[in-house]
Structure 1
Amino acid sequence: MRVVVVGGGIGGLALGSGLRRAGVEVAVFERDTDVRATGGYHITLDGPAQEALRGLVAPEIVERIQASGSALRLRDPDAFWDRRGRFLGQGRDLRDDPSLDIDRITLRALLAEAVGDDLHLGKVVSGVGYDEDGSPWVSFADGSSTTGDLVVGADGAHSLVARFLAGGPTNAPAGIVGFSGRTSVSELSAGERERLGSRSGLVVGPHGAALYLGFLDPVGNAVLDRPELRASVTTGPTFIWGAMFPDSAVTGALRKLRGSTLQAALLAQFRELGWSAKVLEVLEAADPESVAAFRFNAASSRADDLAPWRAGRITALGDAVHATPPTAGMGAGAAIRDAADLVERLGSAVLPSAVEGFEAAMRERGAAVLTAAMGPVRWILFTDTAVGAALTVAAAPILAVASRVLRRH
């Protein structure tokens, strides 16, 4: 069997590495010319995602991922603040949480290493379809083409492969535009370092403005204390943050900006909405080259709406099927689990029954992840209504007082 994978993101590389390890002929085609040319938030891999990875890559790659990942169990519980920096509450106890956080760049590079020379960079896919005999093919912008026994689209939310299968888009804008960046903890003032601590956090204000602070420390909080195996691009305590605003003409204009210009515009937008200087310090101290914009896309959270095509010798996985906003930190993990499931089914069943079983399980998995991710999205968008904005402003001081009382006792 020969499998052609379109897309070298996390899901495509996980699939390619798993098929290669299983002895299946595979070719992964990716438009980027450098696997480290990627951005976005850090990635959270929960227990099931890590278990799936162990079946897809060699033990030495698993160890390098663990040595490059930040353990949730070693950080403080997540915190919630208002736009003025008042503490409103904290999340669950993380001491027994097996999850790890890792740079997207780091994970992608390690998975690419596992795929090896079966990864073909700089290949832009221009078309996909079936020959007269039912064999799937893929064509490229350079005029070349290839065929296989199975084609898998792992080409993200704007997937060409999934669009071909579904006859149209498989997701839509979720109503939020995100902006991400990286801030070294060492760049923050002593006061902010103490306030933020070694934990992730969320700040939600009125009018749909929110700020997520993802704490990552693959050195001090390493899952596996093996410095010689560390491959992380993060070399110390860092906040990889995500600012969020409702999709609008204003955020549409912000999406066209880059670097320090975008950073300054984001700060101005938050200040206009009454956010305090100390809350915004993490944005002001960010590396300007790390600041970027992206729109949240989401598929339907109804399982029956996902992968709405008849199973065949072309399929798709990850965001191509169940595009997931980053608000639950589960999208990449779900794509890895998709990949592991497909590899297992291809080893125990024949086409197209293996694909049919895979797609049925993926629908349920994708719907569960989307349900979790869309809760925070709806909450953020609610604060952009007149009622939601008023409740957000009124509730903040009450919650701040309540949290102080609870902490004293």
Structure 2
Amino acid sequence: MAPFKVTIVGGGLAGALLANGLMNNGVEVAVYERDAADSKREGYQIRLGEAAQAGLKACLTDDIRTALLTKLGKSASEGDTAPTICNSRFETLLDLTKFGSYSKSSAINRVVLRDALLEPVPHHLRRGNERVQLHFSDGSTDTCDILVGADGSRSTINQQVGVRNIVDINSHMMFLNKGDLTQQIIKNLPARLQSGPVITVTKDLLFFFALYLPPPREQSSQKNGGLEYDLAQGSFYWGLTVRRDRIPYDDPSKIPNLLEFCQNQVKDWAPEYHAMINAGSMTGQTDNIVVAPLRASKKPSKQWRENLRRNKAADITEGHPRVWLVGDAIHAMQPNRGMGGNQAMQDCADILPELLSLSQIAAKSGPLLSTQDVGLAVKRYEDKMIDRAFSWVQKSGGISVPVRNTKIWHVAGQDG
């Protein structure tokens, strides 16, 4: 038996990235993922900024990171971009690219990113002293020194370890669509989208639209003005957040025509929005629209583990220092600031040195890695993570949706 083993539950962005970091430093790791290998459930877009870059640099080898960065989307602007906030007449209220301290980023397809991160770890990926004993629904078990919960905003590990800080935002629902690009779709969309995403906010609605225009390959490229990109691999993505009382069904999945519903929400908006909502309609891609709940998280006390462990009646698993949490499993946040995935990946940069330090202790002391050492390590990680990530939870709206222009201006202004 190896002197130190980490098990990660969840093979999404954070779980796969952390697995790379552990593997590259000789630590035994197992990754459990419930979805099939070809699942496209994370098929929307993510924009990688400085936080994500920190995670990539900490966990990936230089060759893999360099190859991954070549897949970042292009834009008509130089370097990373930031959203432009518009009103419903498609007039610019605030161009965030003009603010040097605003967190800028570059787009990438989540499937492309996740597949790249999982590629080095297939033989570590499984479906399905004191140590952690895991029991899975299929009857299988595993044992490890540290369990890392990277199982997303529906995290069962968050519940079992007792933090229980993830909440549903029942006041709104999100309607999402992603589709492949064609030359005609690009032609029909507002040209400014080639320079970065657009966010539009009214009293009842929040709309986001972005393009992913990957760098060209030799045999597959499209040139539009000075911008050259791989049209065959490009995609569009939009999200419409709607106040719940505008939905005439208790169960939004019963809406007979999701496209028509979304069209009606912006019927009084400028024609540019109609073109964005209808992107892909000529190629049958409007059937891709899905309805998703919104979740966010409350900031836990930095002493949440100690508080739980102090309760003699508490389950022994509650607050246990050998169960760690990353990403949406601890700091779920609304998507309007685009920082959920970024903060999850920065978690990996913060958590990796603590796990490597424990691995070194285990190598010297044998299988008797003390829970005290583990507790000190997780405390250092969480103290740093809670301050960093939950500031972004708040900037993203906390547990209420920022659906007024004044709120967006306020949030943007706080971040520069």
Superposition TM-score tier, normalisation by shorter sequence? 0.7 to 0.9
Shift of 1:144: 1.1
Q: Percent identity?
A: 23
> 262, 265, 268: which one pairs with 2:264?
268
Contact 2:81 2:104 in 1 (8 A): no
Residue 158 in 1 paired to residue 154 in 2? yes
User: What is the aligned partner in structure 2 of residue 320 from structure 1?
Assistant: 329
Counterpart AA for 2:328:
D
Contact 1:35 1:112 in 2 (8 A): no
Shift of 1:302: 6.3
CA–CA distance in structure 1, aligned partners of residues 294 and 248 of structure 2 = 12
User: What is the aligned partner in structure 2 of residue 205 from structure 1?
Assistant: 202
Residue 291 in 1 paired to residue 285 in 2? no
> 266, 279, 288: which one pairs with 2:273?
279
Contact 1:136 1:151 in 2 (8 A): yes
CA–CA distance in structure 2, aligned partners of residues 368 and 13 of structure 1 = 24
Contact 2:333 2:398 in 1 (8 A): no
After superposition, the Cα gap between the structure-2 partners of 1:303 and 1:49, relative to the gap in structure 1 and judged at 3 Å, is: farther
CA–CA distance in structure 1, aligned partners of residues 112 and 248 of structure 2 = 29
Contact 1:334 1:366 in 2 (8 A): yes
User: What is the aligned partner in structure 2 of residue 361 from structure 1?
Assistant: 384
How far does the alpha carbon of each residue in 1:263-288 deviate from its partner, in whole angstroms, 9 at most, with x for none?
232223333xx234431221112322
Shift of 1:85: 3.0
Counterpart AA for 2:344:
A
How far does the alpha carbon of each residue in 1:54-83 deviate from its partner, in whole angstroms, 9 at most, with x for none?
221222221221111125644776333322
User: What is the aligned partner in structure 2 of residue 374 from structure 1?
Assistant: 397
Contact 1:17 1:114 in 2 (8 A): yes
Contact 1:298 1:323 in 2 (8 A): yes
After superposition, the Cα gap between the structure-2 partners of 1:89 and 1:47, relative to the gap in structure 1 and judged at 3 Å, is: closer
- Point out the more displaced range, 146-155 or 32-41: 32-41
Contact 1:39 1:105 in 2 (8 A): yes
User: What is the aligned partner in structure 2 of residue 111 from structure 1?
Assistant: 117
> 91, 97, 107: which one pairs with 1:101?
107
Residue 247 in 1 paired to residue 253 in 2? no
Counterpart AA for 2:294:
F
Mind listing any 5+ residue stretches in structure 1 that lack a counterpart? 124-132, 226-231, 393-409
Shift of 1:159: 0.6
After superposition, the Cα gap between the structure-2 partners of 1:77 and 1:316, relative to the gap in structure 1 and judged at 3 Å, is: closer
After superposition, the Cα gap between the structure-2 partners of 1:9 and 1:93, relative to the gap in structure 1 and judged at 3 Å, is: same
User: What is the aligned partner in structure 2 of residue 401 from structure 1?
Assistant: none
Counterpart AA for 1:106:
V
Contact 2:84 2:199 in 1 (8 A): yes
After superposition, the Cα gap between the structure-2 partners of 1:297 and 1:233, relative to the gap in structure 1 and judged at 3 Å, is: farther
Residue 17 in 1 paired to residue 20 in 2? yes
CA–CA distance in structure 2, aligned partners of residues 150 and 343 of structure 1 = 12
After superposition, the Cα gap between the structure-2 partners of 1:289 and 1:15, relative to the gap in structure 1 and judged at 3 Å, is: farther
- Point out the more displaced range, 321-330 or 110-119: 110-119
CA–CA distance in structure 2, aligned partners of residues 20 and 250 of structure 1 = 47
- Point out the more displaced range, 5-14 or 33-42: 33-42
Residue 331 in 1 paired to residue 340 in 2? yes
Contact 2:196 2:210 in 1 (8 A): yes
Secondary structure of residue in 1 paired with 2:238 = strand
Q: CA RMSD in A?
A: 3.5
How far does the alpha carbon of each residue in 1:84-108 deviate from its partner, in whole angstroms, 9 at most, with x for none?
3344442223899773221111111
Secondary structure of residue in 2 paired with 1:333 = helix
> 99, 117, 126: which one pairs with 1:120?
126
Alignment of 1:44-63 (within 5 A): 44-63=47-66
Shift of 1:198: 3.1
Shift of 1:251: 7.2
After superposition, the Cα gap between the structure-2 partners of 1:242 and 1:236, relative to the gap in structure 1 and judged at 3 Å, is: same
CA–CA distance in structure 2, aligned partners of residues 191 and 257 of structure 1 = 30
User: What is the aligned partner in structure 1 of residue 95 from structure 2?
Assistant: 90
Task: Tell me the TM-score normalized by structure 2.
Answer: 0.76
Task: Tell me the TM-score normalized by structure 1.
Answer: 0.77
CA–CA distance in structure 2, aligned partners of residues 98 and 82 of structure 1 = 21
Shift of 1:172: 3.2
Alignment of 1:223-238 (within 5 A): 235=232, 238=235
Shift of 1:292: 1.6
After superposition, the Cα gap between the structure-2 partners of 1:213 and 1:19, relative to the gap in structure 1 and judged at 3 Å, is: same
Contact 1:105 1:233 in 2 (8 A): no
Residue 352 in 1 paired to residue 361 in 2? no
Secondary structure of residue in 2 paired with 1:31 = coil
Contact 1:29 1:120 in 2 (8 A): yes
Contact 1:69 1:101 in 2 (8 A): yes
Counterpart AA for 1:68:
K
Contact 1:84 1:276 in 2 (8 A): yes
Secondary structure of residue in 1 paired with 2:42 = coil
> 112, 137, 140: which one pairs with 2:136?
140
> Which structure has more helix as a fraction of its residues?
1
How far does the alpha carbon of each residue in 1:191-250 deviate from its partner, in whole angstroms, 9 at most, with x for none?
6433644321112233x11211123211269xxx9xxxxxx9974554311111123471
CA–CA distance in structure 1, aligned partners of residues 113 and 121 of structure 2 = 13
After superposition, the Cα gap between the structure-2 partners of 1:305 and 1:81, relative to the gap in structure 1 and judged at 3 Å, is: farther
After superposition, the Cα gap between the structure-2 partners of 1:90 and 1:10, relative to the gap in structure 1 and judged at 3 Å, is: same
After superposition, the Cα gap between the structure-2 partners of 1:248 and 1:29, relative to the gap in structure 1 and judged at 3 Å, is: farther
Residue 219 in 1 paired to residue 228 in 2? no
Secondary structure of residue in 1 paired with 2:139 = coil
CA–CA distance in structure 2, aligned partners of residues 202 and 245 of structure 1 = 14
CA–CA distance in structure 2, aligned partners of residues 77 and 150 of structure 1 = 37
Alignment of 1:387-398 (within 5 A): none
After superposition, the Cα gap between the structure-2 partners of 1:150 and 1:248, relative to the gap in structure 1 and judged at 3 Å, is: farther
